[in-house]
Structure 1
Amino acid sequence: MATISGPASVALRSLNASDTTFLQSLPKAELHAHLNGSIPTRTLIDLAKRYPPPADLGIDIAGHIAKLESGVTLAEISDFFALFPAIYALTATPEALAEATSAVLDAFLTPQPAPPEFTYDPAPECTYIELRTTPRATAHMSREQYLRTVLSKIESFGDRAALIISIDRRMSENDVKECVDLAIKLRGQGQPVVGIDLCGDPLKGDVAMFEGHFKRARHAGLGLTIHIAETVQNTEAESGTLLSWNPDRLGHATFLTEDHKLQFFADVPQPDTEIPPSKMLLSDPEHPFHEHFLASHKMHLDRILRESTESEEARMQLSFHFDADKGARRAAIKEVESLMQPKVAEGRRKPCIEICLSSNLLCKTVPSLEDHHIRYYLANKHPVVICTDDTLPFRTTLLAEYALLLAKPPFGLGLSREEVTQIAEMGMKARFTKPTKSTRS
């Protein structure tokens, strides 16, 4: 049984039964879920009893589990990474890892009872999942055995599940090479390995070291997803390097600069304006407060008046000004509509942004839902996918993350059902492709 708390819980509670059923019925893809951060608490407790790690590890397993059960309070994103040594210790054997993987996949892909104090009917959290994990060599298994153990459980779900192999920023180059080699090898054997990810403490490592290995992965048909600009401390130079790899998807992308968006993103209109105060502005080119309409209307009206050959007497007539305004309005609407047409500029792309609302709020990388960068990307018609990141510490579900979209302010973004449906469709379209027979060695 999942646990939901925090902003996602408040948003989900605010919905009526019809809205909740609507969200459950949407085909949804979970594309940013870390295996070891999504293990249900009850599974961890069971693993601690049956596969207790050696006492000399010096890890307070019971204390960490109790903290996760009661709810984690994070002062900043760096506090998040201190939670994982205990989880890694519990999944250090093939048997424990297999059980943990099964529990995570079941939580996402099979109907689960509603958490306490919620009354909705059981339903799968998503239609499809790309589970991601960093292969770890332990005293009980190699990295390859780790991956094959996870894949054995993923394969049991057929086309509904796939694996992204995560590369930790703290790894040595030899370890990175081994992980990418394994990703290419397993994909070549027809295993459901669909991509690689750059993850880990965002302030560690030199990303330039990874470039050649990620290019090898792309050449082998693997999708690329990159954790990028997660903190204000991440440099513009680093983000520019990562974007130059042309990743297919971006994790979080919280603090990308305007310059980088203009340089690398094929958004129309280009993302160089503030977020419109109302979603009406996104779709109505004739709205008087549309950021392009007002300036365009004035420009065309001045032009019409300047170029008019009518007499002074005619220009004094109300009908003249009515016709001039009508012509300026028509020209302005045409101009705005042309800006709103999807175009892909040369050298710029639309990498899907993996949005993790609760994760960002609880790690305090965004101050509030109102200030969340998803509003910026939606305003600029940039593809996004809603994800959970780590359901264990953030105490959320994919249903609850979607509730943050649909719930009325101040509990959510107040999007319409149509808009939420479009976001879910974006996620399904952003899935990586599985290996076909022609790609197998």
Structure 2
Amino acid sequence: MSEIAGPAAAALASLCPDDVIFLQSLPKAELHAHLNGSIPIKTILELAQQYSPSSAQTTEVADTIEKLRSGVILNDIFDFFSLMPAIYALTSTPEAVATVTRGVLQSFLNPTGDGGELNSPQCTYLELRTTPRMTAHMTRERYLTVVLDEIEMYPATQATLIVSVDRRMSDLDVEECISLAIKMKNRGRRVVGIDVCGDPRSGDMQSFTQHLSRAKSAGLGLTVHIAESTKNTTEDSLALLSCRPDRLGHATFLSDELKALFFADIPQPGTECDSLSECATSTTANPHTPAGLRDPSHPLHDRFKNLKEGYFLRFVSDSTESEETKAHISFWADAEKFSERAAVKDIEAMIKQAQSPNNARLNGQYKPCMEICLSSNLLCKTVASLDAHHIRYYLKNDHPIVICTDDALFFRTSCLGEYSLLLAQPPLGLGLSRDDVTRIARMGMDAAFLIPRD
């Protein structure tokens, strides 16, 4: 039985035995599980016993293990990333990577007595993801080979690999990782996709787009961590969305304006338009005119307002006019006109990018599956409660979602625990029906990269 705690454990404990058996029997896909964040604590302890580096590193590893044993407490999402160096220290050799990969695969795919009467595996199908690491003991290619050797011990219908690139990587490192993924795929190895992950405060995503597009052209699926925190800018998300990912990780703070620009099946707030092209000709919600954008109900209003304020302040601060001139009302009228024109120009550029051939929003096809990680969001405090979780938005609009564990080691959860959060009654869960939960599980299976990409 998996050791779970926190929200997932509370939700699971509230279910009757029949509900638990129902959840266990559902075919489920785990599509967002990080290798180094999903290592069973038993495996971590085994590696720690064999670990003998400098005393400073030993202390860091010991401190992290103690936090994992007692239950990690995070003040925000960025605290999470401070835990990873110790895990990386324990998994710096090919032998250690093989050990943890084997342990993670067993925890997801081997039968477990996970809180019910059925001795079933956590999930039916697993797409494990990891960033190729280069250490003193192995190259990135060696790292991937070791992971794939373990994955390929299972049938192709059960386990595959997503190669992650970290936002902190240099352009050359990203290029190397993408090239390795394509090379492995072309050799018949079980690489099915690319992921963008890492500290959401880092990296210029515009520089990643050429590499991500190359991966898609090679037939790899694409998933990206997007809008994980309030630190992620609209420009950051826009760059990632311009690559038209097949799935989006978290998307906790994805703005209404980007949903309006990209998603084909989301009713747009404040407008009756069925498509962006209709909005462009509407007199009440026209993205190309200040009049339409001034309307608070317009999906791009907040973006327009922020851009306009920024340009207005820049116009005033950069002005070389005398104080006497600035005292005239005409100066401020000019500032207003300039800022509105500049803001509209930026909005038009955003719309043009969204309407590019890479984006199928206009012909009603783009419906990226949202990778929902309930415990992760709650414990990282990116959402205040299940009641406030963005999963409700996508369920209401019948948008594809998949339920995932993210990092089971840190968040003390399991696939069963995450699905319990769907079925359990409020406030412990969302209180969904069995039919709804079955539909969600099916959406997850349909979103797998095992299905050939276009």
Q: Fold conserved (TM > 0.5)?
A: yes
1:207-233 CA deviation, whole Å, 9 max, x = no partner? 111011001100100000000001112
- Aligned mate of 2:374, from 347, 353, 357: 357
Do the aligned partners of 1:59 and 1:85 also contact (CA within 8 Å) in 2? no
Q: CA deviation at 1:353?
A: 0.2
Q: Hey, what does 2:297 align to over in structure 1? A: none
- Deviation at 1:58? 6.2
Which of 244, 255, 265 aligns to 1:246? It is 244
2:151 maps to 1:154: yes
Matches for 1:81-120 after TM superposition, within 5 Å: 81-114=81-114, 118=115, 120=117
- The aligned residue for residue 325 of structure 1 is none
Letter in 2 for 1:157: Y
**Using the alignment, how far apart are the partners of 1:66 and 1:80 within structure 2?**
15
Task: Output aligned runs, 1:207-226, within 5 Å.
Answer: 207-226=205-224
Moved more, 170-179 or 235-244: 235-244
Equivalent residues in 2 for 1:24-423 (5 A)? 24-55=24-55, 57=57, 59-114=59-114, 118=115, 120-159=117-156, 160-267=158-265, 269-270=267-268, 345-346=362-363, 349-423=366-440
* 2:15 aligned partner: 15
What code does the residue aligned with 1:406 have? L
Amino acid at match of 2:409: L
- Give CA deviations for 1:120-176 in whole Å, capped at 9, x if unaligned: 443200000000000100111100000000000000111200000000000011111
Tell me the secondary structure at the aligned position of residue 225 of structure 1.
strand
Distance 1:361 1:143, change over 3 A: same
Contact 2:263–2:367 (CA<8 Å) still a contact in 1?
yes
Amino acid aligned to 1:94:
P
Q: Secondary structure at the match of 2:154?
A: helix
With structure 2 as the length reference, what TM-score do the two structures score?
0.78
Deviations 1:300-355 (A, max 9, x none): xxxxxxxxxxxxxxxxxxxxxxxxxxxxxxxxxxxxxxxxxxx9742651000000
SS of equivalent residue, structure 2 residue 413: coil
Corresponding residue for residue 336 of structure 1: none
Using the alignment, how far apart are the partners of 2:67 and 2:23 within structure 1? 30
The answer to whether the Cα contact below 8 Å between 2:261 and 2:361 also exists between their aligned partners in 1 is no
- Alpha-carbon distance in structure 1 between the residues aligned to 2:84 and 2:59: 10
The amino acid across from 2:424 in the alignment is A
DSSP-derived class of the 2:83 partner: helix
C-alpha contact (below 8 Å) 1:228/1:242 kept by paired residues: yes
Paired residues, what number? 365
SS in structure 1 of the partner of residue 195 of structure 2 = strand
Cα shift readout 1:347-389 (whole Å, capped 9, x = no counterpart): 6510000000000000000000000000000101100000000
Gap change, CA 1:344 and 1:237, over 3 Å in 2: closer
**SS state at 1:60 partner:** helix
1:151–1:163 CA contact under 8 A, matched in 2? yes
Mapped to 2, the partners of 1:119 and 1:265 lie a distance apart of 39
Q: Assess if the C-alpha contact under 8 Å between 2:35 and 2:128 holds in 1.
A: yes
Which amino acid is the alignment partner of residue 24 of structure 1? Q
RMSD: 1.9
Contact 1:225–1:247 (CA<8 Å) still a contact in 2? yes
The answer to which of 234-243 and 372-381 deviates more is 234-243
Where do 5+ consecutive residues of structure 1 fail to align? 274-342
Give the conservation status (yes or no) of the 8 Å contact 1:59–1:86: no
The percent identity for this pair of structures is 60
Query: 1:190 & 1:150 partners in 2: Cα distance?
Result: 15
Query: 1:61 Cα deviation (Å)?
Result: 1.3
State the distance in 2 between where 1:35 and 1:193 align. 14
SS of the counterpart of 1:217?
Answer: helix
Residue 136 of structure 1: SS of its match in structure 2? coil
The residue type equivalent to 2:174 in the other structure is V
1:303 is matched with none
CA distance in 1, matches of 2:189, 2:54: 33
What is the one-letter code of the residue matched to 1:397?
S
